[in-house]
Amino acid sequence: MADGGGSGRNISPKFVVAVILVVIVIVLAVANSKKVKVDFVVADVSLPLFVVIVGSALVGLVIGYVLGRREKD
């Protein structure tokens, strides 16, 4: 039968930190709905601040993923 403990999965510290950071980004995004002017090199755009926050988080996620990958020998 059962071995006395949950599903046998261990929650890693990386996962806990990732969940906490996602919650923080979501709270910041929801709390900031004003429009802000974003100055790109080629154009100026007016966007809600939550779009800027989430977009920045996604760019950071992609950069972290690309730089964190290890090459196979």
Cα angle at 64 between 59 and 70, to 5 degrees? 145
Q: Is the pLDDT of residue 3 over 70?
A: no
Taken in order 50, 52, 56, 59, the sign of the CA dihedral is: positive
Closest by CA position to 34, among listed 17, 13, 49, 15: 49
Residue percentage of the chain with pLDDT more than 70: 84
The pTM of this model reads 0.62
Per residue in 8-42, pLDDT (tens digit) is 678 888 889 889 988 988 888 888 888 999 888 88
Q: What is the pLDDT of residue 32?
A: 83
